Amino acid sequence: QVQLVESGGGLVQAGDSLRLSCAASGRTDSSYAMAWFRQAPGKERDLVAGISGSGQRTYYTDSVEGRFTISRDNAKNTVYLQMNSLKPEDTAVYYCAAREGILIRAKYDYWGQGTQVTVSS
């Protein structure tokens, strides 16, 4: 079983930066792909960024490309999402997710409880 705990959300102004962290416990290692999803009110949960187990492959949705950076520290079992130049449309609950395997854009099996990010204009 895998447990994921997110932290780092908050209320910021447009143009500010935030770094989200996701601490993983249980059976997690470099064989697990990790990702960040977000869900805004009234919208579906969408994949924002993902990273392979080794950290060598990453994926970003178009709207965050160049502003967000996903990274991982396997020694600490932690995944990060550095968010720069935040926009009001980035406001959402951000979820950390994990799946065993090499695919990033696939169904995820484990989820954190979410952390709120609110960007004011």
- Strands of the chain (E only): list them: 2-7, 10-13, 18-26, 32-39, 46-51, 58-60, 68-73, 78-83, 92-100, 110-111, 115-120
Digit-coded pLDDT (tens) for 79-89:
999 999 999 99
Average pLDDT over residues 16-20: 98
- Yes or no: say if 22 and 95 are a contact pair by the CB < 8 Å rule: no
Predicted pLDDT at 107: 95
Predicted pLDDT at 35: 98
Average pLDDT over residues 28-49: 93
Mean pLDDT over the full length of the chain: 95
- CA dihedral of 11, 88, 96, 112, whole degrees rounded to 10: 50
Is the pLDDT at 70 greater than 80? The verdict is yes
